[in-house]
Amino acid sequence: MQQVIHSAASTSFLNTTKLDHAVWKNTIYRLIDQQHFHEPVSDHAQCRLGKWYFEGQGAELFAHKPGFRELDGPHKRVHESGKAALHAREQGDIKGMVEQLKTMENASMQVVHCIDRLLESA
């Protein structure tokens, strides 16, 4: 019974992080569109996934699972490139903004892939 509860809780949490991840990216696009360049944006250690990965039960429960160790790099790139896109747009560098958004989206696909791998093993 404990295993079923643990698996269901892990699955729910990981699916929630995928949704949070999409919401975070949408925030970047909204801030760019509305030209709100100075609104605070969380880094990869402050969001729900980052807190779980660095401070929560992530490492304790999933460090040995496929996808866990591979998650940190792309997750960090999502946040860094999203912030860099905001900065580029603020500076009027549209080409730089687009490049950073492409980097953010590519890294995002890697994050989702890693989370999906964790879901398979939950």
DSSP string, 4-24: HHHHHHHHHHHHHHHHHHHHH
Domains held by the chain: number: 1
In a domain, 35, yes or no: no
In a domain, 29, yes or no: no
**Could you list the pLDDT tens digit for every one of the 122 residues in the chain?**
777 777 788 899 899 999 999 999 999 999 999 999 999 999 999 998 999 899 888 888 888 888 899 999 999 999 999 999 999 999 999 999 999 999 999 999 999 999 999 999 87
Distances (CA, A) of 23 to 44, 52, 73: 14, 17, 19
Query: How much is the pLDDT for 45?
Result: 95
Distances (CA, A) of 14 to 19, 20, 44, 53, 119: 9, 10, 16, 11, 7
Instruction: Say how far apart CA 53 and CA 118 lie, in whole Å.
Output: 12
The crossing angle, in degrees rounded to 10, of helices 2-34 and 68-90 is 10
pTM check: above 0.85:
yes
Residue-range definition of the domain harbouring residue 99? 2-21+42-121
Query: How much is the pLDDT for 6?
Result: 73
